[in-house]
Structure 1
Amino acid sequence: MKIVTAAALTLSLLAAAPAVAQTAASDWRTVAPENLLVIDTARGRILVELEPRMAPQAVNRIRTLADQGFYDGLKFHRVIPDFMAQTGDPMGTGQGGSQLPDLPGEFEFRRGRDAGFVPASSTPQGQAGLIGSVPVITQPDAQMMVTADFKAGAQGLFCTGVAGMARANSLDSANSQFFLMTGPKDELNGKYTPFGRVVAGMDVVRALKAGSEAQNGAVPDPDVMTRTRTAAALPEGERPTVRVATGAALRAEVERVRAARGAAFTVCDVQPPAEVVGG
């Protein structure tokens, strides 16, 4: 599936984010604790919404390793500004993984009408929009009428904030390493597994120590994940709650950003508004 060209979020769009207090309660959804990955670093906290509808095996692996404490103390060993920050390797070199078997690539998935897809734009390659907080490109709803499972094909897009599974040369070699996007990269679409998106803490991701271009992003003195758990595994008093815009509020945000970006608009420009409480 060919993917529509992505564009980066601009500072002016971020500065113009709408006030959330004026929207209806029904326009917000609370992220389930088991789908909220809490990454603590010396630079602050990063919250990632996991998306099991898109990549169930990858999400299960991230949950398992996080709640075992596997990621605690691991380095952000490869950080390239305006691209991504990679971590999850116990060796800290990009060559390691867990004792669990490698995972198959989850590059496409099946979307049902109950997925809550919010359209953003139409292209010759499909319809771009969001499922939860993750940008996707998908076949139109009409395709569901001619498929045996009443679903349409879809693929996650590697826009800013998207979390993806790192891998070796084999498409089926993802294990424990993952990366957080700090800029869009169309070249990754359909070749790496996207499993969620940062819903809070992008400023922290961007503040991580970066490597040099000459060293392919390798960081000589990297930041580390001091603690990484799903919110469900944290004591109740330490558990953050995240509400993300959905329904009419998310559709309104799509239209606001479309108007601001004009002809340059793509789904990668849309970051669903989110609120964090507690933790």
Structure 2
Amino acid sequence: MSVTLHTTKGDVKLQLHCREAPRSCANFLALCAAGAYDACPFHRVSSGFIAQTGDPTGTGKTSRAAFAKRLPDEIVPALTFARPGVVAFANNGRPSRKGVGSQFFITVKPATHLDATCTVVGAVIWGLAVVNAISEAEAENGTPRVQIKIESVTIHANPFATGDLEFQLP
């Protein structure tokens, strides 16, 4: 239940919370398997806070789920932002009718003000320094001046593909 993001700044390995947030993790893994994140830029950075990606246009305006335009938020109270390296789907800062698509962010420090507002899908288990370097990129209005991309994604384990876990669409 892990993937590695191969970025232009280095590798970041993520452990996914597939049992806790199955629908959202299945969406994330399906997007990874389809190559949706390959060559995808980090379109939003905030030094000491987050690095955000998942919009192939690089504008931050496109976010489409694998199985539908959007999926409902999957808020799990036990999955919090109490530590650095939390991986969550981006939304407008609160659970919404719009739900989740393809955009996600990774925190570089605890961000408990985000608890119960975004769908948490995983955590960084290796490469937090890479995420920090991405978040600290020189930026204009939050957009890196020099483009930083996910080059490719390696899926190490997908329990949905093997049938070990199942999920239901709404």
Which TM bucket (shorter chain)? 0.7 to 0.9
Taking the aligned partners of 1:42 and 1:210, their CA distance within structure 2 comes to 12
TM-score (norm 1): 0.51
Structure of higher RCO (CA pairs closer than 8 Å, 6+ residues apart): 2
Give 1:211 deviation, angstroms: 4.9
2:85 aligned residue: 161
Q: 1:190 corresponds to which residue?
A: 116
Q: Does residue 62 of the first structure (1) align with residue 25 of the second (2)?
A: no
Q: Which residue of 2 aligns with 1:94?
A: 60
Matched with 1:13 is none
Alpha-carbon shift at residue 222 of structure 1 (Å): 2.2
Farther-moved stretch of structure 1 (221-230 vs 95-104)? 95-104
**Could you tell me how far apart the structure 2 residues matched to 1:91 and 1:231 are?**
26
Give 2:156's aligned amino acid. Answer: A
How far residue 104 of structure 1 moved from its aligned partner, in angstroms, is 0.9
Map of 2:166 onto structure 1:
none
- Secondary structure of 1:96's counterpart equals coil
Task: Tell me which residue corresponds to 1:231.
Answer: 156
State how many pairs are aligned.
Answer: 152
d(CA) in 2 for partners of 1:211, 1:93: 17
| In structure 1, distance between residues paired with 2:11 and 2:48 | 19
* Separation (CA, whole Å) in 1 of partners of 2:138 and 2:90: 17
Structure 1, unmatched stretches of 5+, are 1-34, 109-153, 234-279
**Residues 184 and 226 (structure 1 numbering): CA distance in 2 closer, same or farther, change over 3 Å?**
same
Q: Does 1:201 align with 2:124?
A: no
Unaligned runs of 5+ in 2: 159-170
Q: Deviations over 1:183-206 (max 9, x none)?
A: 111211001011110000111111
Distance 1:82 1:228, change over 3 A: same
Structure 2 distance, partners of 1:218, 1:160, is 21
SS for the counterpart of 2:40 is coil
Misfit runs of 4+, over 6 Å: none
Q: 2:107 is matched by which residue type in structure 1? A: M
> In percent, how many aligned pairs have the same letter?
31
Compare CA radii of gyration and give the structure with the larger one: 1
Q: CA deviation at 1:178?
A: 0.4
Query: What is the RMSD of the two structures over their aligned residues, measured on CA atoms?
Result: 1.9
Structure 2 Cα separation of the partners of residues 189 and 101 of structure 1:
24
User: 1:103 aligned to 2:71?
Assistant: yes
Q: CA deviation at 1:210?
A: 2.5
Shift of 1:65: 0.6
The aligned runs of 1:59-138 (5 Å cut-off) are 59-98=25-64, 100-108=68-76
Which of 221, 232, 241 matches 2:146?
A: 221
The amino acid across from 1:105 in the alignment is D
Alpha-carbon shift at residue 225 of structure 1 (Å) = 0.3
- TM-score (norm. length: structure 2): 0.82
Distance in 2 of aligned mates of 1:85 and 1:45: 14
1:175 matched residue in structure 2: 101
Three-state SS of the structure 2 residue aligned to 1:156 is coil
Distance 1:174 1:161, change over 3 A: same
